Amino acid sequence: MTDRRSLELWARAQEVIPGGVNSPVRAMAAVGQNPPFIKSGRGAYIEDVDGNRYLDYVGSWGPLILGHAHPEVVKAVQRAAEKGTSFGAPTEAEVLFAEKLVKLVPSLEMVRLVSSGTEATMSALRLARGYTGRDLIVKFDGCYHGHSDGLLVSAGSGLATLGLPACPGVPEAIAGATLSLPYNDLESLASAFASHDGQIAAVIVEPVAGNMGVVEPKPGFLAGLRQLCDQHGALLIFDEVITGFRVALGGAQERFGVLPDLTTLGKIVGGGLPLAAYGGRREIMQRVAPCGPVYQAGTLSGNPLATAAGLMVLELLQAPRVYETLEESSARLYDGLGQILAAKGLPHCGQRVGAMFTYFFTAGPVTDYASAKTSDTALFARFHRGMLKRGIYLAPSQFEATLVCLAHGPQEIDAALAAAEETVKEF
């Protein structure tokens, strides 16, 4: 495996881009690896600038549930681009896309389109504060909701990967308006409501945590959140940027049967282009300008290229047996990896929900951020390097998810398992 061209680009990138990357985990520092620079992707595979081909289980961190460069999605974007790339004015595609989201996601009655998951969660929290007239937000340790100031408190994801306890540049007054509690712990939330009576605007949660690694909600946790929010007049926000259209067509709220007041969506809804959304109950969403006083705007919101891609992806996800296929492929890879790690006697604890899973290199169990952090990150890094050497591209962090897509057929699952067998022989 050669990497001469990637190394050249890596040196140049570090001269003009902080850390050489435009999103921190891409630097692969946590796994002791220089990043390959990707040239192209098709189906389940990506190719770097040196001609090395990898079987991709990152999928651009979630959006590419159909695989890279799906022909129908590419055609949809091309058709849209021929008509113009941006108008800053309403289009029919925006209406069609919003109608599709409202139809497919159980809790949505109205939606507003934005350009990123960070923008969606930031806007949803502003709306929650504006609707309730309260200031405090509750999140959970290890859940990542984007990089806006008030949400970089015990945020998991890149902060966990890089070992950063907090983020300079976030004023104490803003950080102090966010309470971060242990995930899967209803008692701590009940205590927070008791201690801050009438002050909590919203509770935001990844219904399946994906940014401390995949951590499933304990039975009753999501329903308990719903009950406590109702009891105390706070809004419940599901951050389904990762889980939306991945763990079920209607997201985690469909899979677990608990409906939030507001939902944030991203990744899959844009089909690989910058597109996200936030939405929920009509009475809440009508507080957003120009209907109401809560302001939010964006020049590229509802961009015609992104909405064209998103519409095609959502259409294709409604085909027969899509989610059964994802479930079967993901289970086969997950179960096979577990058997390989167990046979070698490596400490491991796995969790899978639909087409996303994580194996933590710890005996476990893993139920929250504190237990996730007991993982042997050096052991994970060694495993990651071995897999990459054998052409398997995994998320370069113990605290991320392995993501299965529809392009991962039996051949791709077998290839990943064979690579894992060879990798652990070196341990």
Q: Is 369 a catalytic residue?
A: no
Residue 137: phi and psi, rounded to 5, are -120, 140
Of 371, 403, 397, the residue nearest 384 (C-alpha): 397
In the set 3, 48, 141, 239, the catalytic residue is 239
Strand partners, 215: 209
Answer yes or no: are the C-beta atoms of 381 and 30 closer than 8 Å: yes
Q: How far apart are CA 260 and CA 251, in angstroms?
A: 12
Name the H helices within 45-180. Answer: 71-81, 92-104, 117-132, 157-162, 172-175
In the set 57, 144, 183, 334, the catalytic residue is 144
Structure tokens at 216: 């499933």
Q: Is 139 a catalytic residue?
A: no
In angstroms, what is the C-alpha Rg of the chain? 21
Of 346, 366, 306, 245, the residue nearest 119 (C-alpha): 306
10 Å CB burial of residue 256 (0-12, 13-18, 19+) is: buried
Per DSSP, the three-state class of 50 is coil
Query: Which segments within 267-324 are labelled E, that is strand?
Result: 276-280
In the set 57, 141, 183, 267, the catalytic residue is 267
Residue written as token pair 């806006």: 148
Strand partners, 360: 349
Of 347, 348, 274, 354, the residue nearest 306 (C-alpha): 274
Q: How far apart are CA 4 and CA 17, in angstroms?
A: 20
Of 358, 381, 367, 427, the residue nearest 58 (C-alpha): 358
Q: Is 239 a catalytic residue?
A: yes
DSSP 159-220: HHHHT-SS-TT--HHHHTTEEEE-TT-HHHHHHHHHHTTTTEEEEEE-SSB-SSS-BPPPTT
* Residues that are catalytic: 144, 239, 267
